[in-house]
Structure 1
Amino acid sequence: MKHFLTLVVVIIIGLGVEVSSVTSRNNTRAGKLFSIFQIVNFPNAPCVGSSTRNGTCFTSDECSSRGGTSAGTCAQGFGVCCTFTVACGATTSQNCTYLVQEATTNPPANPCTFTICKQSSDICRIRLDFTTFSIAGPAIGTTSTGTSIPEDKGGSVGDCNVDSFSVTAPGYKSSPVVCGFNSGQHMILDASGICHKATFDFTGTGSTRQFDIKVTQYTCGDERGGPKGCLQYFTGVSGKVASYNFPTTSATISSTVTHLSSQCYTMCFRQEVGKCAICFTAVKMGSAIIDQGSFGLSVSSTTAAAVTGVQDSGCTSDYLEIPGSERDAAAPDDFTVGTTGSHGHDRVCGRFFGYSDTDLVGVGAVLTIID
């Protein structure tokens, strides 16, 4: 008479790895026969590869079938950290994909277009982190010496006439057109049911182009993707923010640093635990007219001493808008939100960051938002 015994053992091993071992035992007078097989399940979670890139944990076969590259192991050695790197012309729906072009003066494709599709229907936000981003910059203007800055130094100043980059978001607001140096910057788009197009356009061969852009997809409700409509989303209790093509790695700001044209987008800041205010101040105010500060938008008013800052109705072209900000009467150089004060402001522009038309070079204001 034959006897059969089936034993199922489920072992949970750290990092969410589930190993199911099934053993069949066949007892006969002639002897014993053992056969063992394993079914291993683990989540396709983010992982850190052996290179500088992040990846997703897959089995070796899954990684290969998806066109990825193994960059080390994950899930207690049962999986591989699969990284995805694509070149111009590629289409991808993989989370944590890198769009890459090594340094070249002659890009292999023009335009260079990447098609980015949602990984699943519950993706609401797609973020692009510019680890490296350097293409030809815009038409430049030069800071004037004297007591005023000309309002119009040429219709093309700030335009991306040589190289450009933008991302579509069908049904939602697309990104602005940017160019120049943007390493360390990011963009987040509302995810569309139609695939997004991230496009570089290049003109000529005189400039060196190089980019390495990480694409991350966030499910609906994931706070890391930021609020809907926010092109940029910042967290943490301190840090620096800058407009696109601002030389964030330079110690000085030359007279030819020029902000880009047609930059209409929203920056959002997460309120951190236990914090009730956000303060903004210019990183560098400048010490002379030709020595640029880290803030300057549109035409400036003038005084006998120097060019100044402008607010509200005086900002008729370019401006930075922080709705509901007010001057705090107890701190004359501050903007605040939620307090009673005079000289409430929404818009700031001009040569320097200040709360009044008498703010001169080197007298920058601090802007405070209070919840």
Structure 2
Amino acid sequence: MPFFLLSSVLVGLATGAASVPVADVPGQLAAYALALPCAALVGLSPPVRPLSVAAVRALGGVAADRLADTPARSPSARRRAAGWFTLHTGLGALVSGATLAVPPATVVLVATPFSAAVRGSGLGWPLGSPWLGPVAGLLLLTVPVGAAAGAGRVLARCAPVLLGPSPADRLAAAEERAERLAVRNRLARELHDAVGHALSAVTLQAGAARRVLDHDPGFVREALAAIETTTRDAVAELDAVLGTLREDAEDAGPERRAPAPTLAALPTLLAHVRAAGAEVAAHLPEDLEGLPASASREAYRIVQEGLSNALRYAALDLPIRLDVTRRDEELTITLTNAVPGPARRGRTGGRGLRGMAERAALLGGTVEAGPCADGWRVAARLPLRGAR
């Protein structure tokens, strides 16, 4: 209606009148034709597409995956959205015009045989018997119904073409899904590594303390202290991960998350493992705090998972050797532990090994795990160039 009123004024000024008279059919058609380009200009606005999509979903019954929710950004998407808005506005004008005009005309036609005033005014049924007026009036009522149904079908068919996602929209949606999946995988790795290691360590520490409870109370005290520290750290890391899950993805920046442990916390981790009764020989760089933060965090998790696997699959009296070496722009981690024969054959990989490989891949590195002459060996290579 706003577009039609504007175009009526413009056509009326062009013909020397204030507006187009209602009885001027050519003028009304000209105003209608001029209103469509005005609607098309408005349709080029980016917010038109999400508003139109909301209307189509509510009234058109079109599947949600065939429509694009985001504002139209590219020129082609804007042109298609403008085409939809123009088509919707144009058909809507015809349907609304028929809805406004037909009911009064039907009343007049139905009243033709019953009212001399109607017959005398020339508004009633003009041909043949006046009793044909009610029949024509009832048939006329099908016009707005048919127009609404036909317009609905046309718009429902055109909506996926004109309001559907463009290749750029599909690419953006795929990138968003990939980003959400990456966040979920990262959180799953954090939970698996932090909580899984803590449970493994606590189980072994409790078992070792139970075995020597009667004759080595000093070891039992150390084991209980280690259990307390391990569970406290695990709860803190679990709280940090759950806090990230509760936050919106846009607001959950790195500065709002609890800091993840780095290689600087490796001595504490080794102390917890030794408290479980395991024999660990470690060779570490002198400056564990001088590494890039991202590489140090991923390296810590790789070592943590490797030690968890060693505790889970190896006997406590079998030695574990850890070597962390920095050469130029590369950090190498080698973890070797002796494994009993049946356990060695049974270790075929799982979430832990896959998580270590994913962590290394984030930095462009690799992880290799498999049996060796000394038992089981995990070797990780983490490039430091470009890491922050």
Tell me the TM-score range normalised by the shorter chain: under 0.3
Determine which structure has the larger strand proportion and give its number: 1
The structure, 1 or 2, with the larger RCO (C-alpha pairs under 8 Å, 6+ apart) is: 1
- For the pair shown, which has the larger CA radius of gyration, 1 or 2? 2
